[in-house]
Every structure is written in C-alpha cells, then in structure tokens.
C-alpha cells in the first residue's frame, strides 16, 4: 500500500496534464453554449470517448491508482473545465460503478459496454435512486420491485427523480424496495435494459446550474425486467434478506450494518469534493488574472489589500479543501477507517468552499462578474449543486456529528 504523499508521480502528472488539456481545449470552449442550450453535449461526450476519457477503462485505471489520488485528480481537472459538461461525461460512471460493485461478472460484461456505447455511437447510463419523498431519507423510498416467479421477472413501479441522464439513458440502474419490512436493508438494484416498456421520462428539470447535464424524473409503470437483471442475482439477495430478518428477530448487529453502509458512502464522497475543488479553482484563476490586469485609479486592483486578501483566502481555502479530499481518498484506498467521517468532511468543506470562492470571484470582477460575458457567473451557479447532491451539507454535518459523538443526533 502506497504511503500518503502530496506529490504526484510522473505517471499521475502525465495523466493530469492530458485531462487538463482536454478540459482546456474541448470542454471550456463549449461550456457557455451548452449551458445556454440546457442540452446534453453529445459532441463533447463523443470527443471524450474518442480520446479515451469517456470509458470504463479510464475510470477503472484511476480508481485502482494505489495512492487513491487518481479519481480526485481526474475529477478536479474535468470540473475545472466546466461542471455541467463534466457531469455529463462522468454521470454514466455512477451507474457503471453500481454494476461493478454489486453485479456478477456476466452482468458487468453484458451491460457496462452498453452504458458507454462506442466513440461513433456514444450512449449514457442513469443511476436512479432519489424519489420525490425520498432524497436524504432513503428509508422513505416507495418504488417497489415484485418478483413474478412464474415468469422469472421483476415488476417495477414507482417514480425516480433527480436522475442524471434519466430517460435519455441507454441503460437505467434502478434502486427499489423488495422487502418493505426491512427498511433500507430491503432495497435492491435492477438493470432496466434499453427500450424496456413502461419506463418513461417524466419532467426534465430546468436548473439553476450544471445546465449541460440532463436531470429528469424517471417513471416506472409495470416495468418488467428478466430475473437476470437483479444485480448480484436472486440467490445472493435471498441470503442477504434472510440474514437481515434474522438480525431483526434477534435485535442484534443492526447498527453494525448501518455503519458499514455509511462507510461505503463515505468512500465515494471525496470524488464530489474534488469536483467542487475544480470549480473553485477555475473561478479563483479567473479572478486572479482579472485582478492583475484590471486597472482602477491607475493601478491593478490587486494592489488593493481588499482584493489581494480575498484572493489569498480563496487560494488557502482551495488548497485546504484539496488536502481534505486527498486525505479521505488515500484513507479509502488504504482501508483506513473513517473514524471521524473524513469522507463527509472532505465533501462538506470542499462544497462550501466552492460556493464561497465562486461568489468572491463574482465580487472581484464587479459588474463584469455578474454578466455571462465572463465565466465566473456560470461557475457560481454551478457551485450551488455541491452542497445539495450526493448528500446535502446538512446531512454531511449530521454524519460527522454522529460519528465523532457516537450519539443518535437528529
């Protein structure tokens, strides 16, 4: 296991520079257009596929980086380019990770290629978990999956919301309740193949930010999928449900299961923190360049402490956020326990920094910062999502508080 280091090795630097070049040359020039259009940037995704960035192989290589820094490094550079387009590029990864983490080898080999398509015919996938009444409270999930033993099919009914690529995806991964008596332990994930009857796109959301990323409801009405589309298979599910029922009857080890699930979420949160760092860094760089070239009263505005000190704080906060992200990412790959919810810490701090830094960038640019002629306005809008999705800042604080206190704080 690699020791923790803050110095990227030569291979990592080469990958970072390659991703940064793509973000600078392909993503940034297209950012304003696709933000205005509020449409999926298919041509940019196709370019990413052609160079190898939009592929499972690319994310697998970064995920298995023994230092843990591959994924946060890639996320920071892509989201430095533009948050909306970057989310369109990485959104499929969430569904793919769901299959890789829980699926059989046959499911992985069958469905992952269909999620990405080919460089000449790119596809996207969607991970559908949140519901209108079940966002942070996953225990309130209502989407049901009922097994039809005679046909060896699962029948899904319900409505999912806030689904990235929802409705336009080639493959949907849907989380549903299979045993309501077990609460969150009675959930399972299903693959919904392309063109399955009964799955439709509901409302497409017109968003404040990340507008190049497609976000919509997914409606499931008597959606029938083969038994082979249950991630992990029915035998594994039946064993898991039986163990959960036994624990419920004996009144034991339920807390241990809950903590294990929390640890899984903890390990994924630094990647979102890295996205926030990328957006914050992009806004800071624009503000720094502007402050050095914009003159007022005969001198650059950075000569004024009021501006210079803001930039000093911005850079300090960005670096601190990156260090928290890197620490948590290394801890995850090293198998170190998150005894203080370090994953949530990294996501919380980086998300709040992104909102603050992008707002300061708008302020430094003054009236120009408030117009769409400069990118900080878009970056500020985009930054708002980081404190909301993948667990709100309030949920992150709740997780941290419960972990450090070992108390059931509500």
Active site residues: 390
Q: Which residues fall within 8 angstroms of residue 284, CB to CB, at 6 or more apart? A: 311, 314, 315, 318, 357, 361
Helix (H) or strand (E) holding 212: none
For residue 201, the cross-strand partners are 218
Pairing of strands 144-148, 153-164: antiparallel
User: For residues 54, 60, 64 and 68, what is the CA-based torsion angle, rounded to 10 degrees?
Assistant: 40
Token pair 């039986």 is found at: 242
| Complete DSSP assignment for 287-324 | HHHHHHH-EETTEEGGGSHHHHHHHHHHHHHHHHHHHH
Backbone torsion region of residue 232, taken as left when φ is above 0, otherwise alpha when ψ lies between -120 and 50, otherwise beta: left
What is the distance between the alpha carbons of residues 271 and 192, in angstroms, rounded to a whole number? 26
Strand ranges (E), 248-376: 295-296, 299-300
Strand ranges (E), 193-325: 199-204, 215-226, 295-296, 299-300
């Amino acid at each position: 296991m690699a020791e923790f280091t803050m110095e990227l090795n030569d291979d990592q630097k080469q990958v970072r520079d390659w991703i940064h070049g793509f973000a600078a040359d392909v993503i940034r020039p297209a950012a304003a257009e696709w933000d205005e259009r509020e449409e999926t940037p298919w041509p940019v995704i196709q370019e990413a596929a052609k160079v190898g960035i939009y592929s499972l192989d690319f994310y697998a290589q970064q995920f298995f980086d023994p230092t843990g820094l591959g994924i946060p490094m890639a996320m920071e550079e892509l989201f430095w380019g533009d948050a909306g387009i970057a989310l369109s590029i990485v959104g499929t990864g969430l569904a793919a990770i769901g299959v890789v983490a829980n699926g059989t080898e046959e499911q992985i080999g069958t469905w992952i290629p269909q999620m990405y398509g080919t460089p000449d015919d790119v596809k996207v996938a969607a991970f559908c978990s949140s519901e209108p009444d079940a966002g942070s409270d996953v225990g309130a999930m209502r989407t049901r999956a009922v097994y039809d033993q005679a046909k060896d099919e699962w029948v899904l009914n319900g409505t999912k919301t806030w689904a990235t690529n929802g409705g336009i995806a080639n493959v949907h991964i849907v989380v549903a309740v299979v045993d309501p008596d077990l609460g969150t332990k009675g959930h399972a994930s299903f693959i919904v193949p392309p063109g399955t009857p009964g799955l439709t796109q509901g409302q497409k959301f017109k968003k404040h930010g990340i507008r190049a990323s497609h976000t919509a409801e997914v409606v499931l009405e008597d959606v029938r999928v083969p038994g082979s589309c249950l991630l992990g298979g029915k035998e594994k599910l039946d064993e898991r449900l039986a163990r959960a029922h036994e624990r419920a009857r004996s009144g034991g080890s339920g807390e241990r299961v809950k903590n294990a699930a929390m640890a899984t979420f903890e390990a994924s949160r630094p990647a979102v923190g890295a996205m926030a760092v990328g957006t914050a860094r992009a806004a800071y760089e624009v503000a720094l360049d502007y402050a050095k070239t914009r003159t007022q009263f005969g001198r650059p505005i950075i000569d004024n402490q009021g501006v210079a000190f803001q930039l000093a704080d911005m850079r300090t906060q960005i670096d601190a956020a990156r260090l928290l992200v890197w620490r948590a990412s290394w801890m995850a790959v090293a198998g170190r326990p998150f005894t203080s919810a370090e994953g949530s810490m990294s996501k919380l701090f980086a998300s709040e920094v992104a909102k603050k830094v992008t707002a300061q960038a708008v302020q430094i640019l003054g009236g120009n910062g408030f117009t769409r002629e400069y990118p900080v306005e878009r970056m500020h809008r985009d930054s708002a999502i980081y404190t909301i999705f993948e667990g709100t800042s309030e949920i992150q604080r709740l997780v941290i508080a419960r972990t450090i206190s070992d108390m059931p704080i509500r």
